[in-house]
Amino acid sequence: MSTWLMIISAGLLTYATRLSSILLYGRFVMPVQVERALRFVPVAVLTAIFFPDLLFLQGELMLSFSNPRLLAGLLAMFVAWRTKNVIYTILIGMFSLWIIQYILTLF
Amino acid sequence: MQTNHIDTQINTPQSEFFSGVKAEIPLLIGVIPFGMIYGILAIAAGLPPSAAQAMSFIIFAGSSQFVSAQLYGLNVPGIINVFTVGVINLRHALYSASMAPYLQKLPIRWKLFLAYLLTDEAYAVSIVHYQEDSDQRYKYWFFFGAGLTLWTTWQLSTAAGIFLGTSIPTSWSLDFTLALIFIAIVIPSIKDKASLAAALAAGVAAVILFNFPLKTGLLLASLVGITVGMVIEARS
């Protein structure tokens, strides 16, 4: 398969996945259970994306307080909960990660 | 005369578009280094620059582009490469289902166009905006603004990696901003026991299933979270 055919096929497949329900919605009766499930899509998928980022360092599970991403992530969660502010969450999360990483290099 | 504090702001396509752009901007701190790294990695894997940039344009899905470029470098057959990209991007079917009710009344050309812009980062800010109880009429312009901002940034940052070989040092840990963004979006949207349970279940399952091939762990963990959320909701 040529490189270009590969890229175009992969692109079409990805696009079809993105378009799927947007195009078909309303043409079929959606089961009530599916309608109910949709509410949980953002919270479930986005958590499944970020959670491992806090616990895995270079592919290794690191469930300890010497994991700077876990500490900074927990702090960011607290900030997000209290302030509901994206910018504060990013700034405090990033600065605390840098500080914690720096402190850990001292030991 | 007493006036009630009702949100009287009138939303226009323009105001929605710029709100979408504004909502997307913080996410770019994480997207830019990610795009640059992809560009450098794609060239290192042996992709011609035009093909590496075409991936950003045609596939337009960061993590699957990384994997696809690596498989290309390993001379994996194209059909397997296509299949791999397809599986990694399956989560977009969930995004599509989740956005579909809100886009239902739009003309087909808008649906075809907005589906192209349906990435993790554009979805994250847009679905939160859709779920807010406010004037729904022009929210697709918000999605358009967020999606176009991300699209432009992705094209430019991957081009910087491909053509200039520029990257940001990994010691800056800017990739962490993407996790922070999702934290900033998810945590405030947890409003009841059911959504908290959905998030916890999805997060724990994602860690347990982390080593599943082709990011299928991410998809399975999402389904676990959705199911747990529904069960808890049905009970209360």
Q: Is the model more confident about A99 or about A26?
A: A99
Q: Which residues contact B5 (CB under 8 A, 6 or more apart)?
A: none
Alpha-carbon distance of B184 to B38, in angstroms, equals 25
In a domain, B177, yes or no: no
pLDDT of residue B174: 85
What DSSP line would sit under A57-99, residue for residue? ETTEE--STT-HHHHHHHHHHHHHHHH--HHHHHHHHHHHHHH
Closest Cβ–Cβ partner in A44, A89, A94 for B222: A44
B56 and B132 in one domain? yes
pLDDT of residue B8: 53
B210 and B159 in one domain? no
Q: Residues 42 to 101 of A: which have CB under 8 A from any B CB?
A: 42-56, 61, 69, 72-73, 76-77, 80-81, 84-87, 89-90, 93-94, 97-98, 101
**ipTM given for this complex:** 0.91
- Number of domains making up chain B: 2
B198 and B165 in one domain? no
Looking at beta carbons, which pairs linking B209-217 to residues 24 or more positions away fall under 8 Å?
B210/A52, B210/A56, B210/A61, B214/B67, B214/B84, B214/B87, B214/B88, B215/B63, B215/B87, B215/B88, B215/B91, B216/B87, B216/B90
pLDDT of residue B30: 86
Average pLDDT over residues B32-41: 93
> Structure pTM?
0.89
Confidence band of B2 (pLDDT split at 50, 70, 90): very low
Alpha-carbon distance of B218 to A47, in angstroms, equals 9
**B45 — contact with chain A (CB < 8 Å)?**
no
B126 and B97 in one domain? yes
pLDDT of residue A93: 96
A57 and A5 in one domain? no
In a domain, B102, yes or no: yes
Q: Which two tokens stand for residue B228?
A: 């747990």
A47 and A13 in one domain? no
- CA B182, B209, B230 angle in degrees (round to 5)? 65
- Number of domains making up chain A: 2
Task: Say whether A37 and B230 touch across the interface (CB within 8 A).
Answer: yes
Task: Say whether B54 and A43 touch across the interface (CB within 8 A).
Answer: no
A82 and A56 in one domain? yes
Q: What is the mean pLDDT of chain B?
A: 92
Chain A CB contacts of B182 under 8 Å are: 46-47, 49-50
% of chain B exceeding 90 in pLDDT: 81
Domain that holds residue A25: 1-38
Q: Tens of pLDDT along B48-58?
A: 999 999 999 99
- CA B136, A50, B72 angle in degrees (round to 5)? 105
Closest CA to A94 of A68, A61, A56: A68
Calculate how close chain B gets to A10, using CA atoms only, in Å: 5
Average pLDDT over residues B62-74: 92
Q: Which residues of A50-63 are buried (b: 16+ CB within 10 A; e: fewer)?
A: bbbbbbbeeeeeee
**B179 — contact with chain A (CB < 8 Å)?**
yes
pLDDT of residue B175: 83
A34 and A47 in one domain? no
B117 and B233 in one domain? no
- Cβ B117 vs Cβ B144: under 8 Å: yes
Domain that holds residue B220: 190-236
In a domain, B3, yes or no: no
Q: Is the model more confident about A49 or about B3?
A: A49
